[in-house]
């Protein structure tokens, strides 16, 4: 019997701002950082949990602050550690990797392998949010869909998701590969190196944090639009996405 075509995986690398007790001293006088976009992707975990629940997809989430070690950064990358942990000894930094980064990446790898054992392809959505203003520059989007344009299934999927979102919510500004490039270092980029475009489709969803600060009804409506539009793309034309020629 052939495997069902498409599986779904949701991850959230920057879902919380928790500080384990043994690291509390590092944040003395820097508590405000934890509640800002530097400490977590505000609202991302709420989005990720709703997507996973509505789409009946496994969710891998992290709730320890990214200011310890960034789970979305690769070894050797300067931004893997924050201003708070960059000055620690090499042994202390490696301990953070062993305690948080490696277990999280292994969880994602295991979930992906389980899905690929049951499905011909997997769509992975890594959920993030971005600050509305960075270094004095206002970001000009509500939603960003990040992908690698060299992988045609990802490009087509994001085009379709963008269209579905704009059809359901015309007032939203939805951009592709904004405010970051999908080919930049990150979890999906690392996974693309190990899984062919014919079986793995990795998308970073980026949501403007200004929306999370809107009235509860608007915030809930945005999450519903994200969920229903993604569901529509998954149901409507999966074959056309995966069979897109290079």
Residue 122 lies in a domain: yes
What was the pLDDT predicted at 129? Answer: 98
Q: Where are the extended beta strands (E) located within 85-238?
A: 121-130, 133-134, 137-138, 143-146, 174-176, 200-208
CA distance 69 to 7: 29
Residue 34 lies in a domain: yes
Can you give the CATH number for the domain in which 222 is found? 3.40.630.40
Residue 133, classed as helix, strand or coil, is: strand
CA distance 112 to 122: 8
Residue 82 lies in a domain: yes
pLDDT tens for the chain, 246 residues: list them.
Answer: 567 679 999 999 999 999 999 999 999 999 999 999 999 999 999 999 999 999 999 999 999 999 999 999 999 877 899 999 999 999 999 999 999 999 999 999 999 999 999 999 999 999 999 999 988 889 999 999 999 999 999 999 999 999 999 999 999 999 999 999 999 999 999 999 999 999 999 999 999 999 988 899 999 999 999 999 999 999 875 555 656 655
CA distance 74 to 147: 17
User: HSE-up of 204 (CA within 13 Å, CB side)?
Assistant: 30
Cβ-contact 95, 78 below 8 angstroms: no
Q: What angle do CA 113, 50, 181 make, to 5 degrees?
A: 65
Domain that holds residue 215: 6-242
Residue 1 lies in a domain: no
Residue 70 lies in a domain: yes
Which positions ≥6 away from 7 have C-beta within 8 Å? 57, 115, 116, 118, 119, 121, 122, 123
What was the pLDDT predicted at 101? Answer: 98
| Structural domain total, the chain | 1
- Total-model pTM: 0.95
**Residue ranges of the alpha helices (H) in 87-185?**
90-96, 102-118, 152-168
The model's pLDDT over 184-198, given as tens digits with 9 standing for 90+, comes to: 999 999 999 999 999
Residue 67 lies in a domain: yes
* Residue 84 Cα distances to 24, 80, 91, angstroms: 11, 11, 15
Cβ-contact 118, 7 below 8 angstroms: yes
What was the pLDDT predicted at 115? Answer: 97
What was the pLDDT predicted at 244? Answer: 60
What was the pLDDT predicted at 213? Answer: 85
End-to-end CA distance of the chain: 29
β-pairing, 59-61 vs 200-208, is: unpaired
């Amino acid at each position: 019997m052939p495997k069902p075509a498409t599986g779904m995986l949701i991850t959230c690398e920057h879902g919380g701002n928790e500080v384990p007790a043994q690291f509390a001293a590092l944040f003395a006088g820097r508590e405000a950082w934890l509640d800002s976009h530097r400490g977590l992707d505000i609202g991302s975990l709420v989005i990720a949990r709703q997507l996973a629940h509505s789409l009946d997809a496994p969710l891998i989430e992290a709730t320890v602050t990214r200011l310890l070690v960034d789970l979305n950064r690769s070894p050797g990358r300067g931004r893997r550690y924050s201003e708070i942990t960059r000055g620690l000894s090499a042994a202390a930094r490696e301990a953070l990797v062993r305690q948080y980064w490696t277990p999280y990446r292994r969880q994602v790898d295991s979930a992906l392998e389980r899905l690929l054992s049951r499905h011909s392809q997997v769509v992975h959505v890594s959920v993030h949010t971005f600050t509305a203003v960075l270094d004095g520059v206002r970001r000009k989007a509500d939603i960003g869909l990040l992908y690698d344009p060299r992988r045609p299934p990802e490009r087509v999927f994001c085009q379709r998701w963008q269209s579905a979102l704009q059809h359901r919510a015309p007032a939203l500004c939805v951009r592709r590969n904004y405010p970051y490039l999908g080919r930049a270092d990150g979890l999906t980029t690392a996974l693309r190196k190990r899984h062919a475009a014919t079986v793995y489709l990795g998308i970073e969803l980026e949501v403007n944090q200004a929306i999370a600060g809107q009235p509860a009804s608007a915030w809930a409506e945005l999450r519903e639009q994200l969920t229903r539009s993604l569901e529509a793309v998954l149901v409507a034309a999966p074959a056309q996405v995966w069979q897109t020629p290079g």
